[in-house]
A and B are shown apart, each in its own frame.
Chain A
Amino acid sequence: CQLRPTTTGTFEHPNQIDRWAMSGKLGYRTANDGGSASFDWTQKPNRGQIRFSGPLGFGSADLRWDSGRAELITAKEQYQARSPGELAWHLTGFWLPVSALQYWARGLPWPGAHGEAAYDEGGHLQTLQQLGWSLEFDRYQPVAGVTLPYRIKARQNGNRFTLLIKDWQPGAEK
């Protein structure tokens, strides 16, 4: 089925957004390897899909999940696991906290764990320590009445990732 989110115009707060289509770029780095991929992320309250494609559009991978089940399909392999985060390890070399990323991408701490958050004068999340990651929300963009992150830089000992969100299409239950 088409995961086209319903765009209901404007929002007062990012946590009202519970479904979206978002595209951008992910840079990732471990101690001795790294790379970048562009991504198309479609999210519904209980189902998500991120399609990655490598530089110049090749080397694609498809990560899908719903509650309790996740699958990653690449040109060479198929993997199953309980959570998308475990599977993202095959792409980036570290456990990408995909469920937390669903909140971080909206400029929100993940409710599932303790976090130390600092906000700028505009009330936007500036830095966050959560799940062993230290995150920096260094660029924002206006979308549908709210301000959402444009670039997030995250670091966890030797691992780093940068999430760049170029195109946001938020939606919510009508």
Chain B
Amino acid sequence: APTDELLSKLQKLESMKGEFEQMVLDQGGTHMQEAEGEFQVARGNRFYWSTEMPFEQLAVSDGNTVWVYDQDLEQVVVRPLSQDLGQTPALLFGGKPADVAEAFTISERSREAERITYRLKPKGKDPLFDQLDVTFQGDQPSSMRLQDALGQQTVIDFRDLTVNSGIDDSLFNFVPPEGTDVIQQQQ
């Protein structure tokens, strides 16, 4: 079944790192924003998501706390990591696979030889997105497509992926530079 198949693929992923290209489309499919950068994700709900273009923005989680740092704005928002996968898609790869089955209803959307796309619908209440499609090429994730309630789509393509090796643990922590406005959010 799709659920077991996806979970077994996630089970094999202890960590992954590489580059991403992200595109945001409005519900009419009009191209709105493009971004690219590099990322690391590791089991234990840890991620490092550094967007370089068009804006520098850094999202870091050490498994308990999430920092979202905007260099141009000289501002960092600090909040507890929401265990709710519906709020933090990066946790699809960094969370415990069993949690994924709990957080989403999973179905198979398409299959062409080794290229399989799973459709995940969050079960939690008012998630950030209504639907998450994740595509695997064999055992390696290749892209994600998220759609929110307004029909806005965010497509993330992964490139130059390294799986289960070469992770720099120091990146899963963030210390705001001098003069950064720190905004503490409860949840």
Contact = CB atoms under 8 A, between A and B. Distances in A.
B107 interface: no
Contacts of A34: 75, 77, 181, 183, 185
A151 B33 CA distance: 19
Contacts, number: 91
A59 interface: yes
A33 B24 contact: no
Interface in B141-187: 146, 148-150, 152, 154, 181, 183, 185
B128 A59 contact: yes
A56 B59 contact: yes
Interface residues of A, number: 31
User: Most chain-B CB neighbours within 10 Å: which of A27, A74, A151, A164?
Assistant: A27
B68 A36 contact: yes
Interface string B74-90: 11010000000000010
Given A29-B183, A76-B149, A38 B126 contact: no
Interface in A81-135: none
A59 B148 contact: yes
A162 interface: yes
Contacts of A55: 57, 59, 68, 77
Contact of A27 (B75, B126, B148): B75
A57 B33 contact: yes
A29 B22 CA distance: 27
A166 interface: yes
B72 A164 contact: yes
A173 interface: no
A24 to B, nearest CB: 8
A33 B75 CA distance: 12
Given A56-B154, A151-B72, A76 B126 contact: yes
A157 to B, nearest CB: 16
Interface in B5-30: 22, 24, 26
Instruction: Tell me whether chain A's interface is mostly helix, strand or loop, or mixed.
Output: strand
Interface of B: 22, 24, 26, 32-33, 35, 49, 51, 54-55, 57, 59, 68, 70, 72-75, 77, 89, 126, 128-129, 146, 148-150, 152, 154, 181, 183, 185
16 contacts: A23-B33, A27-B73, A40-B32, A51-B26, A53-B32, A54-B128, A56-B89, A58-B128, A60-B148, A60-B150, A61-B150, A75-B128, A162-B72, A162-B74, A164-B72, A166-B54
Given A58-B146, A166-B55, 20 more contacts: A25-B72, A25-B73, A27-B73, A33-B183, A34-B183, A36-B75, A40-B32, A54-B128, A56-B22, A56-B49, A57-B33, A57-B35, A58-B89, A60-B148, A60-B152, A75-B149, A151-B72, A162-B74, A164-B73, A167-B54
